[in-house]
Amino acid sequence: MEKSIFDTVPLEQFIILSLILFCIGMVGVLRRRNMIVVFMSIELMLNAVNLLAVAFSAHRGDPSGQVFVFFVMVVAAAEVALGLAILMMIYRNVKSVDINALKQLKW
Amino acid sequence: MDQAIFYGLALIAIVGALATIFFRNAMYSVLALVVTFFAMAGLYLQLKAEFVAVVHIIVYAGAIMVLFLFVVMMLNLNSVNTIIRSNVNIKWIAVLVGVGMAGILGYGTYLTTLPARGVNSTENGTVKVLGKMLFNEYLLPFELTSVLLIATMVGVIVLTKKEE
């Protein structure tokens, strides 16, 4: 039997850790009004899910989970590039990165 | 030993994440998030996912955070940034919702019976195994990824181009 992290740290602790990181990211999205920080919080949430996927993948001994993480990373990279481009455009138009600058989107 | 490293990295990741959302200055937030990402790369290494760890550092800590840093610096918000007193209630509600969500998810985790441990092999996280999977079972998604990236690239260029 090969040595594994799960001998000393049970899977539950990885779940709890990624759960905490996910919730911190969620608080960031709800709390901050700076669009850049909101984006970073979304990244944090995506990463928490990635960590969970890798933990389960290692736990089950099935590399599919890690391939999936790879795809999540690609989508996250694309999302950030587009999001920041949109953010630049908003900044150019309203000269602010405060979410309240886009209040009209509510209606 | 493994346990001590895990708790150390977990602590760094959580503190970095909290710092990310609580720093007022966006620049410090970016740097705190980089710290979190490095701690997570350490966790991936502990899980024997070497390929994911390396890609994580290159893509997140390398490319994405540089992009964020670039935007923060280009907008130069510190000179413009005025401290607007926002609705304090909303901030506390946000924290409350986060803690509540953590509670619910934690309770769900507690109720769930986790699957049994599979046969674990140190080979699982290597480039060899993942590369073979990527080009056999996941060939179509892998190719579609390139379409996504092209579309993103074109979209970003179109969006950021200044109107003549």
ipTM of the complex: 0.91
CA-wise closest residue to B34 among B68, B73, B74: B68
Question: What is the arithmetic mean of pLDDT over A82-88?
Answer: 91
Number of structural domains chain A divides into: 1
Query: Could you tell me which residues are beta bridge partners of residue A34?
Result: A98
A26 to B98: CB separation less than 8 angstroms, yes or no:
yes
- The answer to whether residue A106 is domain-embedded is no
- The answer to whether residue A103 is domain-embedded is no
CA distance A46 to chain B (A): 11
Q: pLDDT 10s per residue in chain B (164 long)?
A: 888 999 999 999 999 999 999 988 888 999 999 999 999 999 999 988 889 999 999 999 889 999 999 998 888 766 555 555 566 788 888 899 999 999 999 999 889 888 778 776 667 778 888 889 889 999 999 999 999 999 999 999 998 887 76
- The answer to whether residue A88 is domain-embedded is yes
Supply the mean pLDDT for chain A. 88
- The answer to whether residue A35 is domain-embedded is yes
Question: Helices marked H in B112-138 — which ranges?
Answer: 127-136
Residue B164 in contact with partner chain A when CB distance is under 8 A = no
CA distance B52 to chain A (A): 7
- The answer to whether residue A107 is domain-embedded is no
pLDDT at position A99, please? Answer: 82
pLDDT at position B79, please? Answer: 52
CA distance B9 to chain A (A): 10
- The answer to whether residue A55 is domain-embedded is yes
Instruction: Give the CATH number for residue A37.
Output: 1.10.287.3510
CA distance A102 to chain B (A): 15
A5 to B6: CB separation less than 8 angstroms, yes or no:
yes
- The answer to whether residue A1 is domain-embedded is no
CA-wise closest residue to B37 among B53, B21, B19: B53
Chain A residues with CB under 8 Å of B119 CB are 61
Give residues with Cβ within 8 angstroms of A90, minimum separation 6.
A35, A96, A97, A101, A102
Question: Would residue B25 be called left, alpha or beta, if left means φ above 0 and alpha means ψ between -120 and 50 degrees?
Answer: beta
* 91-120 of B, contacting A, C-beta below 8 A: 91, 93-95, 97-99, 101-102, 105-106, 109, 114-115, 117-120
CB A43 within 8 A of CB B116: no
pLDDT at position A83, please? Answer: 92
Q: Pick from B17, B51, B74: which is nearest to A21 by CB?
A: B17
Question: What is the arithmetic mean of pLDDT over A34-44?
Answer: 92
Domain assignment of residue A64, given as a range: 8-98
- The answer to whether residue A104 is domain-embedded is no
